[in-house]
Chains A and B, each alone.
Chain A
Amino acid sequence: AQSVSQHNHHVILSEAASLELGCNYSYGGTVNLFWYVQYPGQHLQLLLKYFSGDPLVKGIKGFEAEFIKSKFSFNLRKPSVQWSDTAEYFCAVNADFGNEKLTFGTGTRLTIIP
């Protein structure tokens, strides 16, 4: 069965710092990868997704993620974070062709200090 690991449970950064959140998955076949964000008191929304093509994916609000197949990784990055990026971030994988189910990681809580 597919699984997703997010090793950073809580990350605290100051504004303007650079961000990288780790995401590793376990599945040897074709994968589709997603990052979702949940701002305080709000529902989950899509940040970005990868399913083919350029392994460097750009999403909303200046976020990007790089798919490295050899490392089974899909890390999320942002060069300069803002206080408004405080949220919980979830990595998710869909690893079965024709199967719309997502497997989520446990999430990383990001706190930005002004």
Chain B
Amino acid sequence: DAEITQSPRHKITETGRQVTLACHQTWNHNNMFWYRQDLGHGLRLIHYSYGVQDTNKGEVSDGYSVSRSNTEDLPLTLESAASSQTSVYFCASSEGPHTDTQYFGPGTRLTVL
């Protein structure tokens, strides 16, 4: 069955370190998204991609970057981790168009000390 996976599932890091969270989908979807989930804020969009070599900023993109070199993967990089980036991160994908369902990964819980 097609799926979307994230790794690691849990990560503890220190302030200032670079961290990369992996997202891999086997749906062959064009669209991929990264969200962060925080209490009281729901899910907020960080970055998204509509295809290979395409990346776009979401509403909370500061301090994060993504790259899309193939259809299956959209890694999320925290350039210099900050305590404010402690959160649960979800990756999602969809085929499109805009009415299509987004399929979510299991999430990565990141703690920045």
A residues neighboring B (CB under 8 Å): 6, 32, 34, 36, 42-46, 49, 51, 90, 92, 94, 96-107
Contacts and interface: CB of A to CB of B under 8 A. Distances in A.
Contact of A96 (B33, B43, B98, B100): B98
B92 to A, nearest CB: 8
Given A104-B42, A105-B42, A43 B98 contact: no
Chain B: interface residue count, which band?
20 to 34
Interface string B33-67: 10100001111110010100000001000000000
Interface of B: 31, 33, 35, 40-45, 48, 50, 58, 90, 92, 94, 96-102, 104-107
Nearest to A98: B98
Nearest to B40: A106
Contacts, number: 56
Contact of A51 (B40, B96, B99): B99
> Chain A interface secondary structure, helix, strand, loop or mixed?
loop
A44 B42 contact: no
Contacts of B105: 43
